[in-house]
Amino acid sequence: MNVPHPAIADLLAASPAATALHAAFARHYGQPPLHTVRAPGRVNLIGEHTDYNGGFVLPCAIDYQTLIALRPRPGRQVRVLALDVGLATDQFDLDAPLAPRTDSPWANYVRGMVQQVQQHLARRGQVLDGLDMAITGDVPQGAGLSSSAALEVAVGQALITAQGLDAGVLDAVTVAQLAQRAENGFVGCQCGIMDQLISACGVEGHALLIDCESLVTRPVPLPADMAVFIAHSRVQRGLVDSAYNQRRQQCEAAAQHYGVPSLRHLDEATLLARRGGLDNTAFRRARHIVTENRRTLAAADALAAGDLATLSQLMAQSHASMRDDFEITVPAIDHLVQILQDTVGDQGGARMTGGGFGGCVVALMPHALVPQASAALQRHYRAPSGEQATVYVCHASAGAGALPG
């Protein structure tokens, strides 16, 4: 895992959230924590729903994160305090079978990750020890910024730190893979690897081009004057209960029709030539994935070259494909994107980001345009509920790690 960039570590060390977390831990457990770890949320710049199809994505970690204060404890109990869920608690025995809690969905991300790490260590003849944890964070929930992945990866980092594990036992990519398995098998959302991998492996000041089949990554630098502008539509979404799993099933059916292991292995010529017998909905789902992979590779090259005009076009095309072929946007999101595209022009780009059906829009733009973009949203956007968009101006952050001290 990465050690946080010094600026992030200094900020967190002095933050009210970290101070409150340590105080809550001491009150609840009767002694202070020994360690603090973090894992960031993420925003995906382009490459939507391509990850579970073995394709390409271009996310960056953001400077909103989950923090966990922790202290190893004797015995086999894991105790958890969640500051952001009304000081809710969970407790379980590492020697007993772990089952999901229907009354506390947040706890299942913790339980699922602990289960995966415990099984990983057991295969190597190692035993996971007891642990006390207190958790807080500022990644907006239900916004498509991967609050769940940040929690899973932070729990993985907490276990690494508590056990003193080195990368030979549990490295960043493996943590991401275990976190994905926890979400797929324990929580029940059939997500791809992107969210967990960027939270674990993010690079300060860079997006990360990820090949979701090989897990090979390439850092792509963001221009120094570029802001990562995120606007929450105030339309809430929930991946497990939405059509996310349905979209995955449709993609798998299309891959089976074309005789490929995943849509990553389908090109545009074959997509058109062999579509006979495939229903139109599944064809459009496949067309989005095939064209989105091409756009993502081109966007990484454009961003690296500082070609913002090309990047703008690719992000606009991506949004149109999500709207028309994959059908995961909603009218409020489309309106929000149009406002930002009109404001940014060819100096950046804007598109929906995340699983869909609400959540957030991401725009890349020069810092000088941020006030203008914020003012445009205040004037021209309201959610169906009447709320204004919530704006987060971010920069690309480092991946998960233990805080010094």
Closest CA to 75 of 98, 94, 99: 94
Q: Reduced to 3 states, what is the DSSP secondary structure of residue 395?
A: coil
Two tokens, residue 41:
């949320």
* SS percent in the chain: helix, strand, coil, step 5: 45, 20, 35
Taking CB atoms within 8 Å and a gap of at least 24, the contacts of 247-252 are 247/49, 247/285, 247/326, 247/328, 247/356, 248/49, 248/52, 248/190, 250/281, 250/282, 250/285, 251/49, 251/52, 251/53, 251/285, 251/286, 251/289
Number of residues written out for the chain: 405
The Cα–Cα gap between 18 and 403 comes to 11
Does the annotation mark 195 as catalytic? yes
Two tokens, residue 280:
């139109």
Cα separations (Å) of 169 from 124, 227, 365, 383?
A: 8, 37, 40, 47
Given 195, 211, 225, 346, which residue is catalytic? 195
Closest CA to 347 of 366, 322, 361: 366
Residue located via tokens 């992945």: 149
Quick check: 68 and 158 in contact, CB under 8 A? yes
Enzyme catalytic residues: 195
